[in-house]
Amino acid sequence: MRAETPAPFGDLTPEAILASVESLGLATDGRVLALNSYENRVYRIGIEDSAPRVLKFYRPGRWSDAAILEEHRFSQELLDNDLSVVAPEVLAGTTLHHHAGHRFAIFPMQGGHAPEPGDRETLKQIGRTLGRMHAVGARTSFSHRGTLNVQQHAIDSVSYLLDADWLPAELEENFEALCHLLLDQIEDAWADCGEFKTLRLHGDCHPGNILWRDGQPHFVDLDDTMMGPAMQDLWMLCTGDAAARGEQMGWLLQGYELFHEFDHRQLGLIEALRAMRLLHFHAWIARRWSDPAFPAAFPWFESPRHWEGVIVQLQEQLVAMREPVLELPRA
């Protein structure tokens, strides 16, 4: 059965938002602009006699304070190593603040535009930056963040969708059968990769979380930072057919391996990670359905036609997972 939970941000009126900022001694000019975010609530706030700031309210119950602070420290560690990430400001001696039952952080504004997709020099530069980022990420481990794994991101996602009755009755059997086949393929891919070192990752490294400015990538939104395989921060940057993706991955790794060793066995994880993201994405929407922002943003989610499309995606992904591992072009 579906669990009903109270809307997590229902009391965030403009007055409450501004009061949170002013509780830190910042004088706002009254301007509040909601920015695109579903998991949390993010706003651009006008500040008197200063640059605007970004205000981020964390979803209740998702992360502990210790886990959020660990994300903040990782961001600062990357900055200290001359990597461009957007880290929270230290105000009143800390980066994590509490006001009226909400937890929040203040960030500087970061300008830029989306990187050019599929461009050789752009991908090589992003690869160099990710190699440096992972060299820092490999120095130690998180204590309070999660680890990317098959159980939580795939098996538990399928179980939640089935147990909470999200599938139309006439599609449930087909969905369940496909998921079991896909989960077997995911587990096989993970096993075939063998033992690999996990490291601290960006975690959600898609082009929307990279801003391009002055010929350099600037990484934003480390909310999903976690432990996991290096490939998790690489595969979403490659698009097109297998040949195009192989070429793009080669460009990324040309830059990456200048700064950090890459375990090429992880090429075999790409389609498994894609499948895990597909399953986890749908379970994420389902788990957040009681938040009014989700039915508004994903009105198609409950329609039978959408789930028919998901079944087609699962079938296509099952075929993709049976194809040979992505091949890089020869040097």
Active site residues: 204, 221
Count CB-CB contacts under 10 A for residue 194: 10
3-state secondary structure the chain: CCCCCCCCCCCCCHHHHHHHHHCCCCCEEEEEEEECCCCCEEEEEEECCCCCEEEEECCCCCCCHHHHHHHHHHHHHHHHCCCCECCCCCECCECCEEECCEEEEEEECCCCECCCCCCHHHHHHHHHHHHHHHHHHCCCCCCCCCECCHHHHHHHHHHHHHHCCCCCHHHHHHHHHHHHHHHHHHHHHHHHHCCCCCEEECCCCCHHHEEEECCEEEECCCCCCEEECHHHHCHHHCCCCHHHHHHHHHHHHHHHCCCCCCCHHHHHHHHHHHHHHHHHHHHHHHHCCCCCHHHHHCCCCCCHHHHHHHHHHHHHHHHHHCCCCCCCCCC
